[in-house]
């Protein structure tokens, strides 16, 4: 079946097309950007696979208006990664693991596998994991090594070319990377690389890593990865695949989680969370340490590792426990479920109120609400039901339509709420728009009183370490007191978990290993523009 594809909207330069035989499930066409720099040994050649789709069915993400994106009052994790080495079903296991990590990104997914010839085969696409992959597509990804990625983004039409993993080719051969995090010095390093002849074809900071690897003078891919990572500032948990090797890397601060497990056949698995290990019957062994580079290849009895210069004090993201990670995961060595339950218990101690029932804003508020109810000695009930099938409204929104969108996602249970003094527990308040609508919804369902309890401290600052957060001035807690927020969302009482109380959950020693920048505005990694530019200049002089 023949069809046409508009290329100019994807790449601003000419491409050579290598069409494959079209079918219902195969990728078509495949476009390869030719080497454009005369210094071939230092030039990347990217392969980008486009999912076949009808021009009558445009990608939904390209239809998101700025207002709709603004009305989405939930924090979003940028992505999740998985890597598998030593299992003949590596690509299928990666597919299942990505299902377990779907909560970390719903806008795109991809898998790269090493086939029996040592070549890298890739399938990427826009949408949920189940929408991107089919049985026949997975059949095109043979081999016992694979990496995968799920992505969150609101970048609209630029979505497709930003879906990972990315594949690049340089003088040493081909490698692929999948990345969770954010590079603070991306703009500075990118500018210097472009001045030295590099050409970027995506808006994803992950591409920067591949250019740094290509420009490195180190003799092996592994040493080039080390060289590149030592130039990066910010948050990164990454998996690479090249030759017969799988490499996992975590930044020196350990902002984002990355764990290692092993299947009964000896296959090694890396993933953003342990819930992915559980789904594919891999036994959790340990975290990848901050600053560690773990290497797995066919020639090793086990795995080997090396370290970048690590920070003396890790700064792990506390929001992984409070919101992003699945409750059944072990993250940063802690049970997410037990940690959230403790948040709720302490919140009930520091912010008690007379009530008849405790409910949660599902799903992230559920475990904290259970802890609150248990400590308060008040029944926990399901007062709000969440529809997991309701997606964003891809139409020009009016206020009425935006209200309907919230109702489509959350439905009150009138028999639980009517005539009751209700405590509703949520994980956070971002802009306040969703909280306002939830309180209104509970009152409309007959709640006598509505007391809002938030299981994390007020968020006053943006995150630059791999979380899609609004600008600081858009965060309601950065411009209103708790009392003003209470009046704004029209609840009877409002209380947040104080930062000192949050730290009590972790104790006097462990509490120092977490990042609280979104609550304090004090960032563990900060570089002024001039300092970043000077660092970038020094770091690239050897390229």
Host H or E run for residue 412: strand 410-412
Strand order from edge to edge, sheet including 108-114: 120-126, 108-114, 145-151, 79-85, 268-271, 259-263, 282-287
- In the set 30, 35, 50, 79, the catalytic residue is 79
Task: List CB contacts of 427: < 8 A, sequence separation 6 or more.
Answer: 322, 323, 361, 364, 365, 368, 454, 455, 456
Structure tokens at 167: 């594949």
Comparing CA positions, the residue from 218, 221, 199, 217 lying closest to residue 208 is: 199
Mapping DSSP to helix (H, G, I), strand (E, B) and coil, where does residue 342 land?
Answer: helix
Q: What angle do CA 47, 109, 472 make, to 5 degrees?
A: 105
Q: How far apart are alpha carbons 109 and 269 in whole angstroms?
A: 18
- Known binding residues for [4Fe-4S] cluster: 317, 463, 515, 518
Contact 316, 255 (CB under 8 A): yes
Q: How many CB atoms lie within 10 A of CB 304?
A: 12
Contact 168, 17 (CB under 8 A): no
Contact 369, 359 (CB under 8 A): yes
- What b/e sequence results for 467-504 when a residue is b if at least 16 CB atoms lie within 10 Å of its CB, and e otherwise? bbbbeeeebbbbebeeeebbebbebbbbbbbbbebbbb
Q: How far apart are alpha carbons 436 and 488 in whole angstroms?
A: 7
| 79 has catalytic annotation | yes
3-state percent helix, strand, coil for the chain, nearest multiple of 5: 35, 25, 40
Contact 293, 225 (CB under 8 A): yes
- Decide the pairing of beta strands 334-335 and 330-331: antiparallel
- Known binding residues for Mg(2+): 364, 426-427
Contact 192, 537 (CB under 8 A): yes
List, as one string, the DSSP characters of 501-528. Answer: HHHHHHHHHHGGGEE-HHHHS--SS---
* Cis geometry, peptide bond prior to residue 333 (ω within 30 degrees of 0): no
Please list the active-site residues. Answer: 79
């Amino acid at each position: 079946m023949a069809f046409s594809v508009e290329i100019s909207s994807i790449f601003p330069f000419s491409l050579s097309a290598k069409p494959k035989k079209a079918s219902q499930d195969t990728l078509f066409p495949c476009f390869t950007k030719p080497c454009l720099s005369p210094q071939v040994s230092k030039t990347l050649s990217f392969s980008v696979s486009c999912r076949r789709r009808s021009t009558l069915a445009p990608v939904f993400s390209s239809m998101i208006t700025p207002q709709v994106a603004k009305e989405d009052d939930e924090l979003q994790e940028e992505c999740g990664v998985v890597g598998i080495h030593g299992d003949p079903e590596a690509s299928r296991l990666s597919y299942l693991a990505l299902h377990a990590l779907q909560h970390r990104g719903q806008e795109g997914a991809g898998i790269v596998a090493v086939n029996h010839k040592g070549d890298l085969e890739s399938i990427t696409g826009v949408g949920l994991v189940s929408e991107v992959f089919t049985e026949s597509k997975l059949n095109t990804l043979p081999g016992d090594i694979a990496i995968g990625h799920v992505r969150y983004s609101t970048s609209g039409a630029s979505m497709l070319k930003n879906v990972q993993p990315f594949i690049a080719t340089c003088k040493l051969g081909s490698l692929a990377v999948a990345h969770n995090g954010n590079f603070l010095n991306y703009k500075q390093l990118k500018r210097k690389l472009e001045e030295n002849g590099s050409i970027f074809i995506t808006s994803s900071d992950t591409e920067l890593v591949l250019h740094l690897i290509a420009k490195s003078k180190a003799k092996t891919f592994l040493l080039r990865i080390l060289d590149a990572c030592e130039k990066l500032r910010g948050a990164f948990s990454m998996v690479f695949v090249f030759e017969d090797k799988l490499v996992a890397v975590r930044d020196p601060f350990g902002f984002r989680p990355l764990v290692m497990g092993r299947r009964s056949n000896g296959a090694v698995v890396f993933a953003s969370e342990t819930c992915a290990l559980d789904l594919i019957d891999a036994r959790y062994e340990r975290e990848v340490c901050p600053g560690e580079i773990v290497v797995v290849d066919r020639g090793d009895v086990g795995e080997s590792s090396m370290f970048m210069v690590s920070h003396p004090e890790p700064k792990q993201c506390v929001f992984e426990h409070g919101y992003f990670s699945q409750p059944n995961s072990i993250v940063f060595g802690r049970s997410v479920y037990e940690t959230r339950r403790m948040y709720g218990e302490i919140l009930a101690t520091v912010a008690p109120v007379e009530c008849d029932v405790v409910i949660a804003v599902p799903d992230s508020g559920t475990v904290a609400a259970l802890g609150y109810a248990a400590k308060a000695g008040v029944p926990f009930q399901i007062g709000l039901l969440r529809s997991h099938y309701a997606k964003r409204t891809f139409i020009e929104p009016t206020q009425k339509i935006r209200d309907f969108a919230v109702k489509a996602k959350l439905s009150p249970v009138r028999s639980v709420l009517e005539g009751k003094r209700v405590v509703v527990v949520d994980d956070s308040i971002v802009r306040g728009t969703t909280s306002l609508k939830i309180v209104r919804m509970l009152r409309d369902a007959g709640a006598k009183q509505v007391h809002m309890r938030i299981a994390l401290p007020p968020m006053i600052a943006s995150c630059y370490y791999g979380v899609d957060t609004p600008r600081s001035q858009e965060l309601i807690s950065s411009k209103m007191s708790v009392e003003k927020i209470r009046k704004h969302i029209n609840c009877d009482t409002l209380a947040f978990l104080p930062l000192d109380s949050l730290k009590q959950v972790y104790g006097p020693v462990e509490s120092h290993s977490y990042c609280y920048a979104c609550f304090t505005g004090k960032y563990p990694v900060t570089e002024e523009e001039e300092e970043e530019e000077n660092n970038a200049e020094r770091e690239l002089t050897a390229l």
